[in-house]
Amino acid sequence: MARELGIKIARVPTLSSYPVAEYAVTMMLTLNRKTHKAYSRVRNGNFSLEGLQGFDMNGKVVGIIGTGKAGSLTARILRGFGCQILAYDALENQAFRDLGGRYTSLEELLSSSHIVSLHAPLLPATRHMINRETIAKMKEGVMLINTSRGALIDTRAMVEGLESGHIGAVGIDVYEGEEELFHTDLSGLVLRDELFKQLMSFPNVLITGHQSSMTDSALESVAQTTLMSLRQFRNQQPLRHEIILG
SS3 102: strand
Annotated catalytic residue: which of 149, 163, 220, 231? 149
Buried b (16+ CB within 10 A) or exposed e, 35-62: eeebeebeeeeeeeeeeeeeeebeebbb
Active site residue 240: no
Active site residue 149: yes
Query: Taking the C-alpha atoms of 223, 228, 231 and 237 in order, what is their torsion angle to the nearest 10 degrees?
Result: -150
Active site residue 179: no
Residue of 166, 109, 119 whose CA lies nearest to 145 = 119
Q: How many CA atoms lie within 13 A of 108 on its CB side?
A: 9
Annotated catalytic residue: which of 41, 210, 241, 242? 210
Annotated catalytic residue: which of 178, 192, 220, 241? 178
Residues recognised as catalytic: 149, 178, 210
